Structure 1
Amino acid sequence: MSFQSQPKAPARMIVAILASLAAAAALPASLPIDAASLARLPAASATLTAHGQSHVCTGAWLADLAAAAGLPAGEALRGAALTTLIVAQAADGYRVTFSLGELDAKLGNRPVLVATACDGKPLSQADGPVRLVVAGEVRAARSVRQLRALQVVGLP
């Protein structure tokens, strides 16, 4: 009876795996969505169109919130960093994802607002206290109401 050993992975593959794990370890577990954290960011606005009605909402860009938390942006957003996702979760468990690449102004340039008010008024209990507004989307399926968490996930 003979045993065959498995071929060893090339050194480059091992280095890539270690670099990916190191990059993932440096990611924050979540992004803050409290009023104080959002107030420190530049003010922004976007139009939410849902159920045949349009609303002008205000808050801060998700890309600014991610950058303030230390996630890579601009020229630093390359390689393994492009596998980083932000998972938005609502109070009822509804979840959607955004990649850092789609949020970045030089790549996907998808504006996503973390809104605290619409039409000049704080969000209602049914929508807030914080919600996402994904500007320009035909369906508002990723404009998460009653946002409770923004988790950061690095894919292996």
Structure 2
Amino acid sequence: MELPWHVDLLQGLPRRTVSMDVHGKAMTCSGVDLVDILRHAGAMPADPLRGTDLARHVEVRARDGYTVVFSLGELDPTLGKQRVYVTDQCDGKPLPADAGPARLLIPGDTRPARSARQVQTFIIE
């Protein structure tokens, strides 16, 4: 399933404020948990994952060609509990063109390697 980025992906979903240090700069951004987006799109079940769903993953592709991958198992709040946020605002403003229209923030990561910016599409397999 391909889910192209559009601001409507965040509409009606619970917004969260998340802070993270990215390359020495403290960021406070607003966005939506990736799990909520995937569940709302029907790409991830609401029940705890099991069986074949544990082999599935989401690939996040950025406009600049950068790609990161998360297994659905690591995102499942009852299993891996990895929190990944799709943010579209930082410090109360929309993201600048070189970072937007959306970026990932993963506060549990020890470095920001998977905090992709310029998010363009989500591929769920």
Residue 72 of structure 1 is matched in structure 2 by: 45
Q: Percent identity?
A: 42
Query: In 1, are the aligned partners of 2:4 and 2:120 still within 8 Å (CA)?
Result: no
Structure (1 or 2) with the greater strand fraction = 2
Q: Structure 2 regions of 5+ residues with no counterpart?
A: none
Structure having the higher helix fraction is 1
Deviation at 1:39, TM superposition (A): 1.7
Q: Give deviations 1:47-103, integer Å, cap 9, x for gaps.
A: 12111111111111000001111122333x101001111001111111110011111
TM-score calculated relative to the size of structure 1: 0.75
Say what the alpha-carbon RMSD is for the aligned residues: 1.2
TM (normalized to structure 2)? 0.93
- Count of residue correspondences: 124
Distance in 2 between the 1:40 and 1:107 partners? 25
In 1, Cα distance between the equivalents of 2:111 and 2:10? 25
In structure 2, C-alpha distance between the alignment counterparts of 1:79 and 1:128, rounded to whole Å: 36
Q: What residue is the counterpart of 2:110 in the other structure?
A: 138
Amino acid at match of 2:41: A
Partners of 2:30 and 2:88 within 8 A in 1 = yes
2:62 to 87, 90, 100: 90
Moved over 4 A (4+): none
* Matched residue, 2:31: 59
Q: 1:127 aligns with which of 99, 104, 109?
A: 99
Unpaired runs of at least 5, structure 1: 1-28
Q: Which of the pair has more CA radius of gyration? A: 1
Equivalent in the alignment of 2:79: 107
CA–CA separation in structure 2 for the residues paired with 1:53 and 1:74: 37
Kindly state the Cα deviation for residue 139 of structure 1 after the two structures are TM-superposed: 1.1
